[in-house]
Structure 1
Amino acid sequence: MEAPRPDTRGIVDPSGLLNRVRFRRHEPAEPLRRYIEWYWLIDWDLPEPYASQVVPHPSVNLTFQWDEAEGPPYAEVTGVALGLFTRKLTGPGRVCGVKFRPGGFRPYAPEAPVSRWTGRTLPAEEVFPAATGDAARTIVTPAADHARVAALDAFLLALPRTPDPQADLAITLVRHIRADRTVRRVGDLARAHGLSVRALQRLFSAHVGVSPKWCILRYRIHEALEHAGNRADVDWAALATELGYADQAHLVRDFTATVGVPPTAYAQGER
C-alpha cells in the first residue's frame, strides 16, 4: 500500500488552513493499512474563528475531536460528503482522524451498505459502541503524535473486521479511477474489470457509498482545484480536455457547483 500522500488535494485554500493549524498525516499500524489510508491530525489555537473547507474524497472518516472551550472530547463518523464540507475552527482544539480507503469502511460495519452513511455525520457510538467519550479522551489528549497514533492503532485493532473480497475490489477500482486520467466513462471502467455497469454501480453503493461516476467527477475537480491553487496561468481549455470534459464550460460548471466559485476566481483568490 502507498504511504500517505504529501499533497493537499481537496483542501480549499490550503495555504490559509496550513498557516492557522498544525496538520500532519501518519500511517496506521501495518495490519490496518489494507482498509485505512492514513491518520490525519490537526491542532489549532485561533484568536479568531476560521472556516476550513474541503472538497471531500469518496472516503468515510472516523474522527476523535476536542474543542477545548466547548466541552469534553467526542467521536463522530462522517460518511462521504456530497458537497463542500465546512468545519468551523475556533479557540483551541484538535482532531485525530481516521481516513478509511474508499471501499475500506464496509468490513468494519458490514451490517449496512456504506451508502447509508453518505451525506451524514453521526455520533461514532452509533456505529462503533467502543467509541465512547472516554475512548476519545484517550486518543486526543496526549501531546505527542506518537502517543495519539498508538492510541488510534489500539482502538482500531480491537474493532471486529469482516473479511470482504468485494471491499478489496472496490478499493482497487477507486484507486484505478484516481490514478488514471483516461478513465472517463463508467462503462469503460466496468469492461476493464470484467463487470457489467449495473454490477459496478451496486458494488460502489454497497462499499464506497457513492457512484463510480461521482468518483470520476470528484477526482477531476480535485485535479482542477490543485491546478487553480498552484498556478496563475492555467490553460483551462487544455485542462478541461486533459481531464476528459467535453469543453471548458463543463469544467467551469462542475467546479463552480462544487467549490462555490468559478475556477478563475478561485485561482485569483489563491494568488
Structure 2
Amino acid sequence: MADVPRGVLYPDQHAPIVTVATYPPSTDLAACVEYYWHVRWEAAEPYETKVLSHPNIHLVFEEPVPLVYGVDRSVFTRRLTGTGHVLGVRFLPGGFHPLWPGPAADLTDRRVPASSLLGPAVDELNARVLADPADTSVVEDFLRPRLAAPRPPGAADAAEIVRRITADPSLVRVDRLAADLGVSVRTLQRLFADHVGVSPKWVLRRARLHEAAARAHAGTAVDWAALASDLGYSDQAHLTRDFTAAVGVPPGRYARA
C-alpha cells in the first residue's frame, strides 16, 4: 500500500486515485506554517475522499477561488471527479492568528472564501499558485508580510500543547493535561478556543482515533481490547462506540474494508 497521510480513511482505496506531496516552509515562516501540501487526483469514476481532520486551519488554493478551512470536527469529505489538484497551507495551531485575529473557534466547521479574510489579492494569486504548485515561493511571498505581525500570548503555547497531545495518544484526560501544564482546565479551554478552534477534549479524542485508524489499516491483526487499554479507553466497547461515532462503522469492520 502506498504511504498516505495520517487521518486519511480507507487508504487502500485512496492511494491509486490521489497523490499527496508536502513541502516545508521557509525558516522565517515555520512558527506559523506547518507545511504546504499538494493533492493531485485522477478519478475515472467519482470518488469521495474522507479524512479524520486534524486540529489545523488550512488555506487552500483551488478552483474557482481559494478557501480557508476551519477545523472540521466531523469526517472531512470531498467528492473528486476527473483530474485536478489543489495546494494547501497547513497552519500550526495559533499560526493563522496574524492573518485573522478573531477566535479560531469562529472558523470551526466552516469553509470561507479566503478573500473575505485576506483581501482580494489572494484571489488574484490563485491561478499563479495552481499553475506551479511545487513553487511555494509564490505563496510564501504573499504570506511573509502578513505573518510578520506579532502573535498574541498563547499562540505558540497552543502549538506545543497540540504537538504534545498528538505525540502521545495515551494522554486522555483534560484535567491531567492541565495539571501537567500548571494551568486550570478553564484556562486551557479558553486557549484552545482562541488559537486551535476546538476543545482540548476534542484534540485528545481525535489523537486516539487517528491511532486506532492507523492500527486498523497497518496490515496486521489488531487486538482491539489491548489497543483500547493502550489508548486509555475504559474497555473495548468504549473504543468501538467512539470510533463508530466518528467514522461511521465499527473499527473491526473498517479494518476489513
The answer to whether TM tops 0.5 is yes
Alignment of 1:101-250 (within 5 A): 101-110=92-101, 112-142=102-132, 145=134, 147=135, 149-160=136-147, 161-250=149-238
Q: CA deviation at 1:227?
A: 0.3
Q: Which string of whole-angstrom CA distances, capped at 9 and with x for unpartnered residues, describes residues 169-189 of structure 1?
A: 111111111112342111111
Secondary structure in 1 matching 2:43: strand
| Cα shift at 1:162 | 2.9
Asked whether 1:78 is paired with 2:69, we answer: yes
Q: In 2, distance between residues paired with 1:192 and 1:157?
A: 35
- Give how far 1:130 is off: 4.3
Deviation at 1:102, TM superposition (A): 2.3
Partners of 2:27 and 2:247 in 1: how far apart? 35
Which residue does the alignment assign to 2:243?
255
- C-alpha distance in structure 1 between counterparts of 2:107 and 2:240, whole Å: 29
- Structure 1, unaligned stretches of length 5 or more? 1-5, 67-72
Closer/same/farther in 2, CA of residues 87 and 217 from structure 1, 3 Å limit: same
What does residue 264 of structure 1 align with? 252
- AA partner of residue 259 (structure 1): V
User: Unaligned 5+ residue runs, structure 2?
Assistant: none
Q: 2-side partners of 1:190 and 1:132: how far apart?
A: 38
- The one-letter code matched in structure 1 to 2:107 is W
- Give % identity: 43
Q: Which runs of 4+ in 1 moved over 6 A?
A: none
Question: Is the Cα contact below 8 Å between 1:170 and 1:204 reproduced in 2?
Answer: yes
TM-score by length of 2: 0.94
Checking the alignment, whether the CA contact within 8 Å between 1:74 and 1:137 is kept in structure 2 is no
Q: Is the 8 A contact 2:4 2:15 kept in 1?
A: no
2-structure distance, mates of 1:219, 1:197:
19
Aligned to 1:54, what secondary structure does the other structure show?
A: strand
Secondary structure of the residue that 1:265 maps to in structure 2? helix
2:87 is matched with: 96
Change (3 A) 1:16 1:7: closer
Pairwise CA distance, 1:218: 0.3
